[in-house]
Structure 1
Amino acid sequence: MLMFCPTCANILGVEEGLNCLRFACNTCPYVYNISHRMGTRSYPKLKEVDDVLGGAAAWDNVDSTEERCPKCHHPRAYFMQIQTRSADEPMTTFYKCCNHECGHRWRE
């Protein structure tokens, strides 16, 4: 959290005072004693992998190809390509097994 001096508008630095911390201006004599915690930490909720790839609905209208499932060895799999890295990198191909009992997902 940044605090600014109300007198000269410079950024206040934190320094130790008498038994407490305080904000102090480097250019003028302004001092503000810190009496309680002024900030909190909050961590953003990370997205689920399915959200990043479009969720379950992303697999509704995809094509299938002859790609063997590494889990059940079914000969066909649905696929879609997504640009997951920078534009000069190739697209990542994601597969989902066509066998509805398996439904294994992997990427190339």
Structure 2
Amino acid sequence: MDFCPKCGMLMYPEKEKGEIRLICRSCGHQERPIFSNKERFVVKREIEHSPKDKTLILEDDQQLKTMPTMKAICPKCGNTTAYYWQVQTRRADEASTTFLRCTICRHTWRIY
């Protein structure tokens, strides 16, 4: 399975003028597959993520103290204050997921 480098949609193998090409049905981008044998083909693409693409997990108490807080009831201990942060866990056109961490027991949960 391969995805279009231009729009991110699935690329489909199609035979065109006697040769197999991967074609995006959304934007029309085309590329040649790399054949591993006559029955199958493989397209390899390495994706490099920048540091800003990675999710930061805070474990140090000093780092947690710089996070914003909100009123939320911890399901584990009943405390009414939690640190919070948001992560885009689903598609870009959907709302972010808000993660909360209790300021006392450090239990972490999420709200959608």
TM-score, structure 1 length as denominator?
Answer: 0.47
* Higher strand content, 1 or 2: 2
Larger radius of gyration: 1
TM-score, structure 2 length as denominator?
Answer: 0.45
